[in-house]
Amino acid sequence: MEDTNYTLQYENYIKNIKSQIKDVIHDCIGKEIIKPIEETKELAKPIEEVRPTEEVKIKNWTGVPIKSFQLRSLDTKEWGEEYSCHYFNEILPKLCKVLIDRHTDFDVEKLNNHLGKTCFFYGDGKGTNSKQIEGTNIFVETNFDNNGKVELCYSIIKLFGYSKNDLKINIYKNL
């Protein structure tokens, strides 16, 4: 008898919560805080790619969803491989890896001197906001906002003879 009573109390409790949740949802729809499912289907379109160096000049990278980047070859002027990036924190170490693979004169001390700040260092990276450059014991500082990371990328590639237009940052178009 007690189990049945407990089960009924539990079922009533769940029904009451469901009813309260429905009321909150209806209030939110009425106040246009959320939209009904039928209206949101139109918003769920596929994400399109934008290549800012060709189609869009981005002045503020804050909140911009990055997809990948490419670095043009200095010799052939052809676009190189597309390197996937899910977050802006990935662009600096991946770009540096590409530069290390292409240029034998990648020197941490020289880079820091040219940049006027310590962005590269050797070590373990513990206690820092840095990312390790794949296949090396070099770390690159990533404690910058997206704008700072992009500007640092431009500064770094310039030291190797590239221009801003030689770096193509592919993004997802905002929905």
Write out pLDDT tens, residues 3-22: 666 677 767 777 777 777 77
Amino acid 3: pLDDT:
60
> What are the structure tokens assigned to 167, written together?
């770096």
- The pLDDT, as a whole number, for residue 129 is 81
How far is CA 112 from each of CA 116, 151, 162, rounded to the nearest angstrom? 6, 15, 18
Between CA 143 and CA 102 the distance in angstroms is 26
pLDDT at 155: 94
Res 43: pLDDT = 47
| Confidence grade of residue 41 (pLDDT, cut at 50, 70, 90) | very low
Which among 44, 52, 46, 45 has a CA at the least distance from the CA of 68? Answer: 52
Q: Which residue has the tokens 């020289």?
A: 110
Does position 80 have pLDDT exceeding 70, yes or no?
Answer: yes
Q: Give CA torsion, residues 7, 11, 16, 17, to 10 deg.
A: 100
For the cut 70, the answer to whether the pLDDT of residue 148 exceeds it is: yes
pLDDT at 124: 76
pLDDT at 37: 54
Cα–chain-centroid distance for residue 155?
20
Task: Indicate whether 2 pLDDT > 60.
Answer: no
Average pLDDT over residues 102-120: 89
For the chain, percent of residues with pLDDT exceeding 90: 37
Integer Cα distance of 106 and 103 in angstroms: 6
Query: What's phi and psi for 169, nearest 5 deg?
Result: -105, 115
Position 133 scores a pLDDT of 92
> Which DSSP string do the residues of the chain spell out, in sequence order?
-HHHHHHHHHHHHHHHHHHHHHHHHHHHHHTTSS--HHHHTTT-PPPPEE-TTTT---S--TT--EEEEEEB-TTT--B---EE-SSGGGHHHHHHHHHHHH-TT--HHHHHHHHTS--EEES--TTSSEEEPTTSSEEEE--S-HHHHHHHHHHHHHHTT--GGGEEEEEEPP-
User: At 149, phi and psi to the nearest 5?
Assistant: -65, -40
